[in-house]
Structure 1
Amino acid sequence: MTLFNCLIYTWYGLPIVSHLWENLPLVTINGVGILLESIFIFMYFCYASPKEKIKVGVTLVPVIVVFGLTTAISAVVFDDHRHRKSFVGSFGLVASISMYGSPLIVMKKVIETKSVEYMPFYLSFFSFLASSLWLAYGLLSHDLFLASPNMVATPLGILQLILYFKYKNKKDLAPTTMVISKRNDDEKNKAALELVVDVDRDIDANEKNSNNA
């Protein structure tokens, strides 16, 4: 979904959709995003198992197809920048909001485990910073399709930082609890084994006394 988002917003910022180069920062940043995502997918594909490679292919093909259709329709069907921006921007809006599913899942995990192991500080901080800057850019350029998704992303970034500072000192709680629980189980098993051994000894002693009598 991140690759699709970068593809859509790169196309959105090009002069075919936007007016001249009014959204040049959008093109450059998302162009870098396409490059990084492509490298990441390529590396993952090289080292993944055959089953995982199939999953990547099944996910990647619809992304390319939908992006291809979006670019073709926006370039051929619509003949002015306003309608092209509305059409492509709608896809970008949906893609951006869909990306927030992953942070929500991570935040849910942090709350459940009371550990920030899966939510690094710098990732949360720079996600918040990027969302805030893009929100400001969208508002200053009066572009609803740039501002709207970041109106959702910025509060989520703030919430991530709040959760991080709340649970950052409890990150070792879950492993410690597991170790203590394991030790308690081992002690219980040891005590039960000793009890069985003591009972066996008592039975053997009683049998010997009976035989002697």
Structure 2
Amino acid sequence: MISTDSIRTVVGIIGNVISLGLFLSPLPTFITIVKKRAVEQFSPIPYLATLLNCMMWIVYGLPIVHPNSVLVLTINGVGFFIEALYLAIFFTFAPRPLRLKIVGILAGELVFVGAVLGGVLGGAHTHDKRTEIVGILCVIFGTAMYASPLSVMRMVIQTKSVKYMPFYLSLVSFLNGVCWTAYSLLRFDLYILIPNGLGALLSAAQLILYCIYYRTTPKDEPKQNLELPQIVPANDPDSLRSMKMEK
């Protein structure tokens, strides 16, 4: 009989693959930016937000905060590298005022993450307490990012057009939320459940809106690339241990 830990490990691996897909979803946007050598109307905010999210989950997965969380560090480390590359491209082709804005926000994020890490290490002396503090912050940021499509959903309803809501991004976000919600329920983890459960619900709502308003979208209006912040949930260290046991 297959154990719960084995099932959870498989779900976690699938979740990592889907999360990587979410990280790579803005790639067409940046290919366009490089070809045109201009950022046009694209905003750097989603990528700055995702970078901050990755940094917070990296802090969560550090051995001094949440031991034996190698999968947390790997997937979010990859996400950090990808988002940093996106921002480097954005910075290269952005006008000077936007460059200064990127530098200012990025500096603020680094100071914030450093302050969180320093405060947790200095003020919390057990792994459980450190996990709780950083986990709560990750839930807050993750929930905020999953709620970011609300404005786009409102626009869809008002215009009766899905021009600004890409179907595949909504679909992958839904699969990601469902996968990590299942992962958190197999061995209850509130820090993973809250943002991903909410993300699954909001992504499902986007897919429903897409089905409703797809036919009313003018065919001569090509859908725009809209890249929304992504969340990559932290993996439970038990999944890693179960993988080692299977080997």
1:92 and 2:92 matched? no
Residue 176 of structure 2 corresponds to which residue in structure 1?
A: 130
Q: Secondary structure at the match of 2:65?
A: coil
1:35 and 2:81 matched? yes
Residue 103 of structure 1 corresponds to which residue in structure 2?
A: 149
Question: How many residues align structurally?
Answer: 173
Q: Secondary structure at the match of 1:99?
A: helix
1:44-72 Cα distance to aligned partner (Å, 9 max, x none): 11101111112212221211111111111
Taking CA–CA contacts closer than 8 Å with sequence separation of 6 or more, which of the two structures ends up with the larger relative contact order?
2
1:54 and 2:100 matched? yes
Question: Which residues in structure 2 correspond to 1:6-17 (within 5 Å)?
Answer: 6-17=54-65
Deviation at 1:170, TM superposition (A): 1.8
Residue 204 of structure 1 corresponds to which residue in structure 2?
A: none
Residue 156 of structure 1 corresponds to which residue in structure 2?
A: 202
Question: Which residues in structure 2 correspond to 1:193-204 (within 5 Å)?
Answer: none
- Distance in 1 between the 2:68 and 2:146 partners? 30
Q: Partner letter of residue 105 of structure 1?
A: S
Contact 2:147 2:199 survives alignment (8 Å): no
TM-score normalised by the chain length of structure 2: 0.66
Residue 160 of structure 2 corresponds to which residue in structure 1?
A: 114
Question: Which residues in structure 2 correspond to 1:41-80 (within 5 Å)?
Answer: 41-80=87-126
Residue 207 of structure 1 corresponds to which residue in structure 2?
A: none
Contact 2:146 2:195 survives alignment (8 Å): no
Structure 1 vs Structure 2: percent identity of aligned residues?
38
1:140-165 Cα distance to aligned partner (Å, 9 max, x none): 23221111111211110100100111
Please say which structure displays the higher CA radius of gyration. 1
Flag as ranges the 4+ runs of structure 1 deviating above 3 A: none
1:159-210 Cα distance to aligned partner (Å, 9 max, x none): 01001111112221796xxxxxxxxxxxxxxxxxxxxxxxxxxxxxxxxxxx
The structure in which a higher percent of residues are helix is: 1
1:106-125 Cα distance to aligned partner (Å, 9 max, x none): 11111111111111111000
- Distance in 1 between the 2:100 and 2:159 partners? 32
Q: Secondary structure at the match of 1:169?
A: coil
Question: Which residues in structure 2 correspond to 1:177-188 (within 5 Å)?
Answer: none
> Cα RMSD (Å) of the superposition?
1.7
- Distance in 1 between the 2:63 and 2:196 partners? 23
Structure 1 gaps, min length 5: 176-213
Change (3 A) 1:151 1:101: closer
- Distance in 1 between the 2:206 and 2:71 partners? 26
Change (3 A) 1:174 1:113: farther
- Distance in 1 between the 2:65 and 2:91 partners? 32
